[in-house]
Amino acid sequence: MKSPKISVLLPCLNARPFLEERIESLLAQSFSDWEAVVLDSYSDDGSWEYFRSIAAGDSRFRLFQMPRDGLYAALNRGIALAAGEFLHIATCDDTMLPNVLEELLNAFDLYPEAGVAACDVSLITASGDRLTAREMKKHLPRKSIDNMLSLDRVRSYPLNVEPNFRRPPHDCLLHFSAKSVYFSLTQLLIRTTIARSIGPFTVDVGSPADIGWLLRLTNMTGTVHIPKKLTMWRFHSPDQLSIRPNPRGICNIKRMFEEAMPKVQARHRPLLDRNQCAMLMLPVRAHLARWRIAWVWIILEVYARLLWLFLQRPTATRRAIDRAHFRVLTWKETLIPMLVSRLELAPEKLAPDEKEKSAQTMAIEWRPSNELGMVS
């Protein structure tokens, strides 16, 4: 049998209240050459029975049950099982617009060298309305809420609101701010061969596994970004993995950064030297600093390494500092953008004819669910 173009991974554990909308959004896709790899962790709320009823009438669905070893163990299994040229991760409590697979697949025609295509994401409530700080204030501190709601668009430096291509290691380096470039894995379409080549998700660290896996992915390949909100991430419970409190989260991120750094430096030498790689680790080290003396030493190191950049390329360094608005009081937020600017890794905008082609196929924008009729 002919292999499908896209393998859609559907990890599920007791997501029955959202399955009909998720499956309807998949069946409604304008691009139909896909397989759905269902990865059910022995749900006991009727999810498995629902999947069986769908698969009975649609041969594109392949059903698998596996132990409750967590989301990332299920995704590792799904990547191994996928038969498609591309992977799309479709968590079962989220949803998407009918043109997302087509749009992301078309993005690879614009930049065939890309290994990842990304769109933006709409953040929605359990009922499908737009998510606001008001719904989150009982579950997260204000700073975390503001940070979360700001990630509905794929991050870049400088901020890019037009279709663009990011050569590696642009997205890879931005992850060293300890904040993901993408809000959710559901925003991505990934070449399967590349997903397999970078190794599996780490399964014992919780939600930071996303950032560790994406760090390795974007070290290997570039990303074409279509700045349209084509997928939706749903907040429905304070116990969701992505917002669940994780006291050791930043420690785990630091560990994954340290493990990835030798490969990042080796792949992008001589663009990245030892001094710049050490600078990339400073923000996450600052997050872990608990004593004033530790902060003092980190700030002194920031200045020492910045001085070395000046000695190497004074004009380029000054220009990067100005562009990133690098300041002492905001160095944790501005250091990585300054490095990205100095390395001249700004996203490449599409050529005018490519913009026109892209615009013709991106007419559907997110609207509240009561307008789309997607949520009962």
**Pairing mode, strands 95-96 and 223-235:** antiparallel
Lookup: tokens for 301 = 């190191």
Phi then psi for residue 229, to 5 deg, are -85, 90
pLDDT for position 351: 62
**Pairing mode, strands 116-125 and 223-235:** parallel
The Cα–Cα gap between 1 and 4 comes to: 9
**Computed over its alpha carbons, how large is the radius of gyration of the chain?**
21
pLDDT exceeds cutoff 60 at 194: yes
Lookup: tokens for 195 = 């997903």
Question: What's this model's pTM, rounded to 2 decimal places?
Answer: 0.88
What average pLDDT does the structure give for the chain?
88
pLDDT for position 371: 31
The Cα–Cα gap between 192 and 78 comes to: 11
The Cα–Cα gap between 335 and 337 comes to: 6
pLDDT for position 239: 67
The Cα–Cα gap between 347 and 166 comes to: 5
Q: Which of 114, 105, 215, 119 is nearest to 166 (CA)?
A: 114
The Cα–Cα gap between 324 and 158 comes to: 8
Q: Find the length of the chain.
A: 376
The reply to whether omega before 200 is within 30° of 0 (cis) is: no
CA distances from 235 to 79, 131, 195, 232, 363 (A): 25, 8, 27, 10, 26
114: left (phi over 0), alpha (psi -120 to 50) or beta: beta
DSSP assigned state of 368: -
Average pLDDT of span 243-258: 80
- Range(s) within the chain of domains with CATH label 3.90.550.10: 6-249+355-372
The Cα–Cα gap between 266 and 273 comes to: 9
pLDDT in tens, 124-183: 988 888 888 887 777 777 777 777 787 788 999 988 778 999 999 999 999 999 888 999
The CATH H-level superfamily of 6-249+355-372 is Spore Coat Polysaccharide Biosynthesis Protein SpsA; Chain A (3.90.550.10)
What confidence tier does 365 reach under pLDDT thresholds 50, 70, 90? very low
